Amino acid sequence: MSVGAKEDGQRIDNFLLKQLPGVPKSHVYQLLRSGQVRINGGRVKAERKLAKGDEIRIPPVRDVDKSQAVRPPDAMLNRLRATIIHEDEHYLAINKPAGVASHAGSGIPYGVIEAIRAWNKYEFIELAHRLDRDTSGVLLLAKDRPALLRAQRAFKYGDTEKRYFALLIGRWRGEDRDVDAALVKNRLNGEQHRVQIDEEDGKPSKSRFSPKERYRDATLCEVQIFSGRTHQIRVHALALGHPVAGDQKYGERTDNKPLRELGLKRMFLHSHFLKLLPDGTFDKLIVNAPMPDELRDVLSRLPKIRS
């Protein structure tokens, strides 16, 4: 199989997922890990970018029964249509709801990208980045390959500004704090994983936490991330001794109980601002996503610190 101009610059894992729609995602990654997928005769990793003219060898694989393929329900398609916060000739951005995955995966039959493709509106639509399933906020999708490559370059080389709102457990002392700590992903069992700080084997990551509102037992922070590692804010917040409220993986059940009683039913982490710097023919892009009412309602119930 030869790579054409349309696939130039695409990651091999994304290419395979599109070419093998009936094959489970876990099996596609197993093929890559085991070296059964070859490019120009050599083994490759999932993040390898394709180039026009590359020759790809894929072993014979058996599709799952097409009747088992899950089409996102109409309610989900309509729900995501209502979350559009920006659209132009190159990009679509939504205010992703918490609890909705960016894409399908192990045990998750569909996500945002599958639902938007089911609109049958776009000839080309791809995720420009990802958000954790339990995180809400700005999720950017590209409507053509040059726009996708522009966004990928921006995220890779730091030509972006990404800001989140996070409610942290505990009373914050002082003002802004930076966390510059390398992160590594450790697989626990099956598809489950946990991210940890590891300065020797981890990937560099930096976050800046700025307190915006102080409550008796919690602090609302705006968090700017200068890298885009899995669970970065959650692990960096834990390292500061202030885990993200509602975080069931890295937080403590006892700390979250009072907030659940105040109505917090999810992790309090929301991506509210994304900026891409100008790049060639692409202008600056700024997208804002308002905080969901479900999170604002929790803040309204929190007892503030009396000055």
Q: Are residues 109 and 27 in the same domain?
A: no
Same domain, 251 and 279: yes
Burial 34-68 (b: 16+ CB within 10 A, else e): eeebebeeeebeeebbbeeebebebeeeeeeeeee
Q: Using the predicted structure, report yes or no on whether residue 30 has a pLDDT greater than 60.
A: yes
The residue-averaged pLDDT of 97-106 equals 89
140-171 confidence digits (pLDDT tens): 999 999 999 999 999 988 899 999 999 999 99
Count CB atoms within 10 A of the CB of residue 101. 20
Check whether residue 41 and residue 75 sit in a common domain: no
State the pLDDT at residue 66.
45
* Domain contains 16: yes
Structural contact between residues 55 and 1, judged by C-beta atoms closer than 8 angstroms: yes
Q: What is the mean pLDDT of residues 161-187?
A: 93
- Do 180 and 288 fall into the same domain? yes
- Does the pLDDT of residue 189 top 70, yes or no? no
Whether residue 265 has pLDDT greater than 70: yes
Q: Which of 142-151, 179-188, 213-222, 284-293 has the lowest mean pLDDT?
A: 179-188
Same domain, 166 and 268: yes
297 and 258 assigned to the same domain: yes
**Based on the structure, what is the number of domains in the chain?**
3
Do 121 and 211 lie in one domain? The reply is no
pLDDT at 76: 94
CA dihedral 152, 154, 158, 160 (to 10 degrees): -120
Catalytic residues: 132
Asked if pLDDT for residue 191 goes beyond 60, the answer is: no
Mean pLDDT is lowest, of 12-26, 171-185, 201-215, 269-283, for: 12-26
- 193 & 259 share domain: yes
Confidence of residue 225 (pLDDT cuts 50, 70, 90): very high
User: Could you tell me if 138 and 14 lie in one domain?
Assistant: no
Q: What average pLDDT score do residues 281-291 get?
A: 97
Print the domain residue range for 52.
5-56
Q: Any idea what the CATH number is for the domain that residue 83 is in?
A: 3.30.2350.10
